[in-house]
Structure 1
Amino acid sequence: MSLSFAIGALLALVAIATAVYLMSARKYQSSDSVANAYDTWTEDGILEYYWGEHIHLGHYGSPPQRKDFREAKADFVHEMVSWGGLDELPPGTTVLDVGCGIGGSSRMLARDYGFAVTGVTISPQQVQRAKELTEEDLDVNFLVEDALSLSFPDASFDVVWSIEAGPHMPDKALFAKELMRVLKPGGILVVADWNQRDDRQTPLNFWERPVMRQLLDQWSHPAFASIEGFAELLSATGWVEGEVTTADWSAATLPSWLDSIWQGIARPQGLVRFGLLGTIKSLREVPTLLLMRLAFGTGLCRFGMFRAVRSDSSRSAELALAETTV
């Protein structure tokens, strides 16, 4: 075999793999496409095997330091609790975990802080798996819910908590409104999310636009909000007391992307467990993970943190009255 033939074959293989990657994108079509994607990821067990019970990024400290992938994910929950001031709340505090996945954060909030947690996700398979993983003595309940149309009455929870659910929401303003609506007066909203740079200030350039397109299409995201933009949407609900507090945790979470790829190397037994098809499915996610690392490493994307307190009930009543008279 000549060197030129080998190079040609390799280039052809790369071209085929790229074409398959692009054509098999999980583009957002509706809430059903999001539910179906997570149902599939949950049923095959690959994501849980490599990522554990927490299907979100880890916190590696400030400045970041080497840390076990799953330990970093658990640390993220504790860091988020502390940042939001939730560690000052008493046991029995009611918490709504919006986009709970298979319940990792919900269980920690109940087990480590004594909170009464309701976890909601649009994926029936995630709810089933979350229930299977949850100890009977924990005060945790899981339900299938659409975050843009929550079934709970106004002012139902002391805390609303959400990690990395926002990119799946086509209507960011409605998402912000629902999060604030179900909070009790004086309740605390704490959100962690993937965001893009505020393109109102600095528009996306020639290479950022196709990268962002893939980040949206590959994992069923209709759009990313900016940190500034989503904070404005929360304030615009009329239910925020004072100002929305924000932070950028991009540096602390950045190692997660390459760490997630490393899991496939560090845990080769997964190749046997999931077979050839599972291996192909796992390898298929590597380009998206690398694009995520590129985006968060260059500032195209940012890891945003949001904290807001629900205003008193009289202000909420005024807003509700105004809406009914428009």
Structure 2
Amino acid sequence: MTPSLTIGLLLTLAIGGIALYLITPRRYESADSVAQSYDEWTEDGILEFYWGEHIHLGHYGSPPRRKDFLAAKSDFVHEMVRWGGLDKLPHGMTVLDVGCGIGGSARILAKDYSFDVTGITISPQQVKRAQELTPTDVTAQFQVDDAMALSFPDASFDVVWSVEAGPHMPDKAIFAKELLRVLKPGGILVVADWNQRDDRQIPLNFWEKPVMRQLLDQWSHPAFSSIEGFSELLEATGLVEGKVVTADWTEPTLPSWLDSIWQGIARPAGLVKFGLPGFIKSLREVPTLLLMRIAFGAGLCRFGMFRAVRAES
């Protein structure tokens, strides 16, 4: 075989291998598959390099304005605190952060609002990294736990907080009940999540069904709930005082999707730091990020906010 044919064959194999890697689904299988995915992203440091301490979307205002990517993520936490009325609570309130990632939100809640925060995640590597990033004088602790079967007794926390964890939950009714079960009577639940349009009102059309399937299969999501559907599940627990308050934050969070892709261009040091394997792994996420932007921009998906108060016993 001539050198040119050898090089051509190697390039073909390389391109084919990359293409296969890019299109290989990562479907939800169990809590273990979710944990493994987050363990891998945490161990290699790629997600933290580009997304910082906050593994969630940013808040760009209404109407959205240009903002630093990492600053928008921090702003999201403060906006969620204000929207939930948590800024009016006294110091020392106990908070459970469900799906805490590497602890970005938990540290803000502890440092800026003087809450006593417990963060839980299914990923042991995320817990390890969260502990490494948290100064000893910050009242935030982290542990491995399953949001579908929380290890805490009933009525353990003054506040339960969760950002973008719901899509990973295979049974949204159990998830809703667990969030409220560990909340003290009179306590506040504040949840921010990716949601699908309520298909009971407007069924998914011919292009929305495959797009939704791809979004689920690429990031280990069993299903998205709708804003209306998850509100109903919270109220169906019988543990909510009055009605669940909801809001749609699609507009202020929408720039996050393209901004996250732009980070790979604006921060070329990542290519040096993580090399070709890191570049390929990051490149794999671009189609899904673009689909997310399309889905949220077209109304197939919505960014839902939920606030509920635990009923008195």
- State the TM-score, normalizing by the size of structure 1: 0.91
**Secondary structure, counterpart of 1:303 in structure 2:** strand
2:6 matched to which residue of 1?
Answer: none
2:68 matched to which residue of 1?
Answer: 68
**Secondary structure, counterpart of 1:312 in structure 2:** coil
Return the offset for 1:89. 0.3
- Per-residue deviation, residues 89-112 of structure 1 (Å, max 9, x unmatched): 011000000000000000000000
| Matched residues, number | 303
1:168 matched to which residue of 2?
Answer: 168
2:139 matches 1:139: yes
- Per-residue deviation, residues 236-272 of structure 1 (Å, max 9, x unmatched): 0000000000000000000000000000011001000
**Secondary structure, counterpart of 2:203 in structure 1:** coil
**Secondary structure, counterpart of 2:33 in structure 1:** helix
Return the offset for 1:19. 4.4
2:110 matched to which residue of 1?
Answer: 110
**Secondary structure, counterpart of 1:285 in structure 2:** helix
AA aligned to 2:215 is L
Return the offset for 1:137. 0.2
Return the offset for 1:21. 2.4
AA aligned to 1:172 is K
CA-based RMSD of the aligned residues comes to 1.6
2:112 matches 1:87: no
2:27 matches 1:21: no
2:282 matched to which residue of 1?
Answer: 282
1:6 matched to which residue of 2?
Answer: none
Q: 1:161 to 1:292 in 2, by over 3 A?
A: same
2:300 matched to which residue of 1?
Answer: 300
What CA distance in whole angstroms lies between the structure 1 residues aligned with 2:143 and 2:255?
32
AA aligned to 2:22 is Y
- Per-residue deviation, residues 286-317 of structure 1 (Å, max 9, x unmatched): 0000000000000000000000000001xxxx
Deviation above 4 Å: which 4+ runs of structure 1? Answer: 12-19
What CA distance in whole angstroms lies between the structure 2 residues aligned with 1:102 and 1:18?
30
Identity of aligned residues (%): 77
AA aligned to 2:56 is H
Return the offset for 1:17. 5.5
**Secondary structure, counterpart of 2:150 in structure 1:** coil
Return the offset for 1:25. 1.6
Q: 2:18·2:280 contact (CA, 8 Å) conserved in 1?
A: no
2:235 matched to which residue of 1?
Answer: 235
What CA distance in whole angstroms lies between the structure 2 residues aligned with 1:162 and 1:76?
13
**Secondary structure, counterpart of 1:141 in structure 2:** strand
2:99 matched to which residue of 1?
Answer: 99
- Per-residue deviation, residues 145-181 of structure 1 (Å, max 9, x unmatched): 0000001000000000000000000000000000000
Return the offset for 1:16. 7.2
1:51 matched to which residue of 2?
Answer: 51
What CA distance in whole angstroms lies between the structure 2 residues aligned with 1:282 and 1:21?
10
**Secondary structure, counterpart of 1:151 in structure 2:** coil
AA aligned to 1:21 is L
Q: 2:21·2:284 contact (CA, 8 Å) conserved in 1?
A: no
What CA distance in whole angstroms lies between the structure 1 residues aligned with 2:16 and 2:207?
19
What CA distance in whole angstroms lies between the structure 1 residues aligned with 2:15 and 2:197?
31
Q: 2:98·2:119 contact (CA, 8 Å) conserved in 1?
A: yes
What CA distance in whole angstroms lies between the structure 2 residues aligned with 1:243 and 1:18?
48
- Per-residue deviation, residues 93-138 of structure 1 (Å, max 9, x unmatched): 0000000000000000000000000000000000000000001001
Q: 2:160·2:188 contact (CA, 8 Å) conserved in 1?
A: yes
1:157 matched to which residue of 2?
Answer: 157
Q: Which runs of 5+ in 2 are unaligned?
A: 1-12
What CA distance in whole angstroms lies between the structure 1 residues aligned with 2:193 and 2:22?
25
**Secondary structure, counterpart of 2:62 in structure 1:** coil
**Secondary structure, counterpart of 2:119 in structure 1:** strand
Return the offset for 1:220. 0.3
**Secondary structure, counterpart of 2:241 in structure 1:** coil
Q: Which runs of 5+ in 1 are unaligned?
A: 1-11, 314-326
Return the offset for 1:13. 9.7
1:317 matched to which residue of 2?
Answer: none
2:253 matched to which residue of 1?
Answer: 253
1:34 matched to which residue of 2?
Answer: 34
AA aligned to 2:139 is D
1:8 matched to which residue of 2?
Answer: none
**Secondary structure, counterpart of 2:170 in structure 1:** coil
What CA distance in whole angstroms lies between the structure 1 residues aligned with 2:91 and 2:15?
54
- Per-residue deviation, residues 201-251 of structure 1 (Å, max 9, x unmatched): 111111111111110010000000000000000000000000000000000
AA aligned to 1:112 is D
